[in-house]
Amino acid sequence: MINKHKTTRVPGKPRDFVDCYLDELDKRRSTDQVIMLGSWLLVVFCVCLFFLFIRIQRPKSFPPGPRPIPIFGNLFQFNIKNPLKDFKKLAEQYGNIYSLYIGTKPAVVLNGLKVIREALVTKSADFSGRPQNLLKDVTEGKGVIIADYGIQWKEHRRFALMTLRNFGLGKQSMEERILGEIEHLVAKLDKFAGSSMYPQTLFHDAASNIIYLVLFGTRYDFGDETLNVYVRLFSENAKLANGTWAMIYDALPIVRSLPLPFKKAFDNYSTLKILTANMINKHKTTRVPGKPRDFVDCYLDELDTKDNESTFSEEQLVVYIMNLHIAGTETTSNTLLTSILYLMVHPDIQKRCQKEIDVVLERKSQPSFEDRHNMPYTHAVIHECQRIANTAPLSVSHCTTRDTELMGYTIPKGTMIIPNLSSVLSEEGQWKFPHDFNPSNFLNEEGQFERPEAFIPFSAGPRVCLGEGLARMELFLFLVTLLRRFQFIWPEDAGEPDFTPIFGLTLTPKPYRMGVRLRQPAREM
């Protein structure tokens, strides 16, 4: 009845009790709407006032950069899934040194060889710290890669370099370890001769096994569950460390206690610590003090002689081993994956390498690292693969250890420093073909190998990658052995190659299939 009555009603001109009540309802609705609108205006005013008072101010003489927004900084102003193109555009706009804000924290991005060498080499003591971020929180600042620039870092870096040399780095004994692992890889690839396969886990397993041989004196069969867990968790954390959620973790401390995807990095790390500690404890049962068989034994011998001021400890050893493992696995395996991808797409370059390899190794059963001096073209191709792979594009973030200056700008202590190695590896004026895959970037006019100063895939200065020497040896021996025995072909049914990498702490090629063809009988291997 009331609804039927509404059809003949004229608001403001009541005819009866029902009309009077409906007029009163209209007045109250109007008042509520005014109050609600006023409330929203008040909220907007307060938010604007809040943003006005907390506006981020750049320090005096700080590098220029895009204007940050309160709380979030520049978080939404570039593609945090892969910011490399945005970093390049910002360099074009602001110059080779500019600033960003990750939340309210300032960061300075370094681009180009001149700026990066000035910071990481000339003024290395000022720029060799590590910032407080997701990676540092996960590792608790232990180990050697993320450790602060101080006594602990210096002692452990020195120990690692000395021990790696003692166990054959740069010597024939290390070659033998690498070539022994390559035999297992060749045997695996032999099974796929005449067909195709996905090589991702294969190269990761092989690289991981080589560092295991150095650390524990042992290896795992390809596909072993323990090895699979290690490689998977390390790879996940490498992607998380420079990914979207790491940026959010660093920018917004208020969300760190929430069950968001960055928690996965802590869970993975906890699992890896337990696995590594168990391996060390098992290793102790066969150890003979004073007669080290591998890296872990050397560290345990050092623990036996430590004093109260020593930075060595069993907890430190666990993280140390994990650092060396990931450093010895990710960069090498991803560079191998990139190398095979580009050699499949450039069969002419692959054939020229194979021709040179066949001539140099004609009467040898296996290659030696010294053979690189007689293979200028192959050596150039391997370096070009490293350059184009751009495996660690932003290195590992640095941090200023004190107030300092760089290229006329003032940079306060504690500022995050992002060395954009990618900008150097493709810098105009430093390379003949900065944006193309071309071995001529490493060949002089006489066709001899020549390494440009801008080749810094392992970074530069005191924080340069610990495993550079091992990685260089591995890449040469792996690729020469594989190219001598196999021809790698892009499968006809695989579609167009996609060279766009997956961004993270390291760049990883997207999964692809690899066609394998046998070049010569197994007896010649």
Would you list which residues are annotated within the binding site for heme?
465
Q: How far apart are CA 439 and CA 81, in angstroms?
A: 30
Q: How many CA atoms lie within 13 A of 259 on its CB side?
A: 0
Phi and psi dihedrals of 35, rounded to 5?
-65, -45
The radius of gyration computed from the CA coordinates of the chain, to the nearest angstrom, equals: 29
Tokens representing residue 415 in the block: 């500022």
Using DSSP, state whether 11 is helix, strand or coil.
coil
Q: How far apart are CA 23 and CA 13, in angstroms?
A: 9
Decide if 433 contacts 440 (C-beta within 8 A). Answer: yes
Q: How far is CA 486 from CA 74, 118, 360, in A?
A: 48, 44, 17
Taking the CB of residue 413, how many other CB atoms lie within 10 A of it? 12
Decide if 334 contacts 508 (C-beta within 8 A). Answer: yes
Q: How far apart are CA 109 and CA 217, in angstroms?
A: 40
Decide if 338 contacts 468 (C-beta within 8 A). Answer: no
Return all residues near 375 (Cβ < 8 A) that are at least 6 apart.
Answer: 356, 357, 360, 480
Q: How far is CA 296 from CA 159, 160, 290, 327, 405, in A?
A: 12, 11, 12, 16, 41
Query: Strand pairing of 514-518 and 486-489?
Result: antiparallel
Return all residues near 474 (Cβ < 8 A) that are at least 6 apart.
Answer: 178, 207, 210, 332
Tokens representing residue 327 in the block: 């450093």
Question: Smallest Cα–Cα separation from 491: which of 355, 340, 352, 349?
Answer: 340
Query: Strand pairing of 398-399 and 416-420?
Result: antiparallel
Angle between helices 200-215 and 295-304 (to 10 degrees): 40
Q: List, as residue ranges, the binding site.
A: 465
Tokens representing residue 193 in the block: 């001769």
